[in-house]
Amino acid sequence: MADYHFVYKDVEGTSTEWDDLQRKYGNLPPKPDTFKPAPFTPAVDPHLRPKSAAWIDHKSPEELEELEDDDLDDSRFLQEYRKKRLAQMQQASKVVRFGSLVPISGSDFVRQVSQAPQDVWVVVLLYKDGVPECGLLHTCLEELATRYPATKFVKIISTDCIPNYPDRNLPTILVYNNGAVKGTLVGLSQFGGRRCTPESVALALCKSDPVLNDGHSNNASKDDVIDGVRKKFIETLVTQHEDDEDYSSD
């Protein structure tokens, strides 16, 4: 007859009174901790997460238009926030944007400058090719045109704008608003001479009026615009200093 040997196993972690007594007197090692698996946490479906204001901020105007009401939480706040964000984005798209220094002819002047919208400031550069000072100011205005796309920047050959305009007065900037001349800046000395920078030109342009408009700060005062220009100037100096340090360390 076969000899069967049975081993009885209780639930893991249980022990007999005898074992407990032996452990009390040190005859058996301490009972090991009972294994406990980590609590199960189901993965979160990103499509089921509650929608927030930050989630809406990353949507384009087209995506906001396509969103159905039941795609958002039932919260009235989120519904109103969606409408507000969509209105803001639509308003921003209506801002007049230029962004470059555009050449015009004498026949274009009235349409491009005098008849520009009332809320648009127009910066007109009178220049001639071959005049070094005109080239310096031209470079600065190209940079400002990209920074302040809601301000219109145009350039015109001086004698096409004003017949017999003397070359000794070049470069000259005319500032227009609402069909009228608001400022006249004659010569490169107005902007710091041959060491002029986009920032020095910006400060000269805004000395009397808030000429520069980046398209994001409507109805900004002259002081607000100048403060923004100064901050940009400081940022430029810091960046140049860091670049110089990196170059010297190499």
Convert the pLDDT of each residue in 2-40 to its tens digit.
555 555 555 566 677 777 777 777 777 887 777 777 787
* Residue 99, number of CB atoms within 10 A of its CB: 15
d(CA 76, CA 231): 39
Could you tell me which residues come within 8 angstroms of residue 30 by beta carbon, excluding any fewer than 6 positions away?
23
State residue 18's pLDDT score: 74
What is the residue-wise DSSP string for the chain? ----------STT---HHHHHHHHTTSSPPPPPPP-PPPP-PPPPGGGSPP-HHHHHT--HHHHHH--GGGS-S-HHHHHHHHHHHHHHHHHHTS----SEEE--GGGHIIIIITS-TT-EEEEEEE-TT-HHHHHHHHHHHHHHHH-TTSEEEEEEHHHHSTT--GGG-SEEEEEETTEEEEEEESGGGGTGGG--HHHHHHHHTTTS-----SSSTT--HHHHHHHHHHHHHHHHHHHHHHHHHHHH-
State residue 59's pLDDT score: 66
Convert the pLDDT of each residue in 99-120 to its tens digit.
899 999 999 999 999 999 988 9
Is residue 203 within 8 A of residue 226, CB to CB? The reply is: yes
Q: For the chain, list residues with pLDDT below 50.
A: 69-70, 72, 74
The residue with tokens 């920032």 is: 199
Q: Which of 212, 195, 214 is CA-nearest to residue 136?
A: 195
State residue 31's pLDDT score: 75
Tokens of 196: 């002029």
Is residue 97 within 8 A of residue 152, CB to CB? The reply is: no
- pTM, to two decimals: 0.59
Tokens of 182: 């608001």
State residue 70's pLDDT score: 47
Tokens of 36: 């406990």
Cis amide leading into 171 (omega within 30): yes
Rounded to the nearest 10°, the torsion over CA 117, 123, 126, 132 is -150
Could you tell me which residues come within 8 angstroms of residue 84 by beta carbon, excluding any fewer than 6 positions away?
none
Name 172's bridge partners: 126, 186
